[in-house]
Chain A
Amino acid sequence: AQRVTQPEKLLSVFKGAPVELKCNYSYSGSPELFWYVQYSRQRLQLLLRHISRESIKGFTADLNKGETSFHLKKPFAQEEDSAMYYCALSGVYNTDKLIFGTGTRLQVFP
């Protein structure tokens, strides 16, 4: 079964600390993985996708097929990073439909 697991509901760090939001997936084929961010009372926005191998707002994520993980990392958290983060998966041959994890709320304290 296709599934995305985000084990942490809440992650609290101080400004300047490193951040790692965990995401594990199960999928029988070769998935595409995404991270979405939702700031308070706003719409979800695409943060990054693994195929782009990009860094957005200082965040990076590497797809580890051996560990079936796609953890989101940032070396130095900022207060404006406080938001809800969702990991999502889509299949290569059905690329439009997404399966979301339950989300991790990141709180960055000053």
Chain B
Amino acid sequence: NAGVTQTPKFQVLKTGQSMTLQCAQDMNHNSMYWYRQDPGMGLRLIYYSASEGTTDKGEVPNGYNVSRLNKREFSLRLESAAPSQTSVYFCASSFGTGQYFGPGTRLTVT
């Protein structure tokens, strides 16, 4: 099993550009999550999906949209990137307690 995979690993965007971060899991988990990790702030939940077809806002959803394409895939879209969105983005999945994380995407917005 690959677990949770994310693409791309690194990305540099200019302000105003858009992009989609991809996440997939092969563990048949119902729930999936997107976090951002910033120094001194820990991990903050952007959006989550408790099951296929449902999504809910987390702590910091502004500037982001998500799509739960199917049970395996959960994508995060930045429609108009801003420098404040420079961060490391982690996807995670879970079934019951405990979450499993992807390797992260390091995004820089200039």
Tell me the A residues contacting B by CB distance below 8 Å: 6, 9, 32, 34, 42-46, 49, 51, 86, 90, 95-98, 100-103
CA distance A100 to B68 in the complex (A): 23
Main secondary structure of the interface of B (DSSP, over half): strand
CA distance A34 to B101 in the complex (A): 14
Interface centre among B31, B35, B43 (most CB of A within 10 A): B43
Q: Does the CB pair A86–B43 fall under 8 Å?
A: yes
Q: Does the CB pair A97–B45 fall under 8 Å?
A: yes
Q: Does the CB pair B100–A46 fall under 8 Å?
A: yes
Residues in A whose Cβ lies below 8 Å from that of B98 = 34, 46, 49
Q: Does the CB pair A102–B96 fall under 8 Å?
A: no
- Chain A residue at smallest Cβ distance from B35: A100
The count of A-to-B residue pairs whose CB atoms sit within 8 angstroms is 52
Q: Does the CB pair A96–B103 fall under 8 Å?
A: no
Main secondary structure of the interface of A (DSSP, over half): strand
Residues in A whose Cβ lies below 8 Å from that of B53 = none
Residues in B whose Cβ lies below 8 Å from that of A51 = 97
Q: Does the CB pair A96–B42 fall under 8 Å?
A: no
Q: Does the CB pair B31–A43 fall under 8 Å?
A: no
- 11 A-B residue contacts at CB 8 Å? A32-B97, A43-B101, A43-B103, A44-B90, A44-B92, A46-B100, A90-B97, A97-B31, A100-B44, A101-B42, A103-B42
Q: How far is the CB of A38 from chain B (nearest CB, A)?
A: 9
Residues in B whose Cβ lies below 8 Å from that of A98 = 45, 99
CA distance A107 to B37 in the complex (A): 20
